[in-house]
Amino acid sequence: MNPPQDFPPSSTIKLHLHEARELKFIMYREYGCGVSFSERLTLGLRGSDAISFRTSRETEGIYCDYIEKKYGKPVMLSGPILPEPPSIGLDEKWSKWLDRFKPRSVIFCSFGSECIMKKDQYQELLLGFELTGMPFLVALKPPVEAETTQDGLLEGFEERVIGRGVVEGGWVQQQLLLGHPSVGCFVTHCGLGSMNESLVNDVQLVLVPHSGDQFVNARLMSGDLKIGVEVVRREEGGWYTKENVCEVVKLVMDENSKVAKEVRENKLKIKEVFKGERFESDYIDRFVEKLQDLIQS
């Protein structure tokens, strides 16, 4: 689905057919008494004095300008609000397992606490990791129709990947895992929290958006910012194969690949900005100042 005609011309955001269908369902279902989610959102934007987003001009500036122009309201940005550095260390269970592998050689996959995949797609994703021949640590909720993570695995999978592949169904310390020296690739569903955590770590990004705004986040990272590579899917149903997964992971992990070099360099530039001494505090200061100006006007 193409964006509106007045959308920023430099944008690479375009929805695939299956994504447009899902977002249409979300936006136009009833969200209150006789009001759709889209109507409620639009009424809120039009009736507000100002609009605020948790983002930065460095990543989404052209879209903030578009919203400001479209609704004629000041748009105030809080910055990405990055997570505080962990005060505890990585669980010994995972540090011992990861320490066995070479630097930047392990695939880490996590889709957050709310993402529940269909069983066949869940299995296809794991088969893709197996196909790479690389070590991998996967943290996913049990798929649909499975009570536990292991219930969702194909027969023989655990035996084939023993020693180099782990599938975990519970919570893991994602921020600390992303910072471990052995982790070189992060396969993400493109949720906002995961996106921000990945930007301040030195991992290569493989993008597998699952639903909602994750589709937009994926286009932003793969297209506008060019800091990750998205797994190719079928246009109609959104299906991807184990070969699709394997191909993209190996591409971003190949140090001699032009694509891998490009996304690594672009991501390093953003990391340097985000980790700047006053980057976050300046955003918060400006945000507070604009709120004060709004109240006093």
Q: What is the pLDDT of residues 213-263, one digit of tens each?
A: 999 999 999 999 999 999 999 887 889 999 999 999 999 999 999 999 999
Output the pLDDT for position 219.
Answer: 95
pLDDT category of residue 297 using cuts at 50, 70 and 90? confident
Residues 65-73 have a mean pLDDT of 94
Whether residue 194 has pLDDT greater than 80 = yes
Global pTM value: 0.92
Report d(CA 115, CA 189) in Å as an integer. Answer: 8
Domains of the chain: 92-274 (3.40.50.2000)
**Angstrom distance (rounded) from CA 30 to CA 53:** 24
Residue 33: which pLDDT band, with cuts at 50, 70 and 90?
Answer: confident
Q: Is 206 exposed, middle or buried (0-12, 13-18, 19+ CB in 10 A)?
A: buried
What DSSP letter does each residue of 77-140 carry, written as one string? E----PPPPPSSPPPHHHHHHHTTS-TT-EEEEE--SS----HHHHHHHHHHHHHHTS-EEEE-
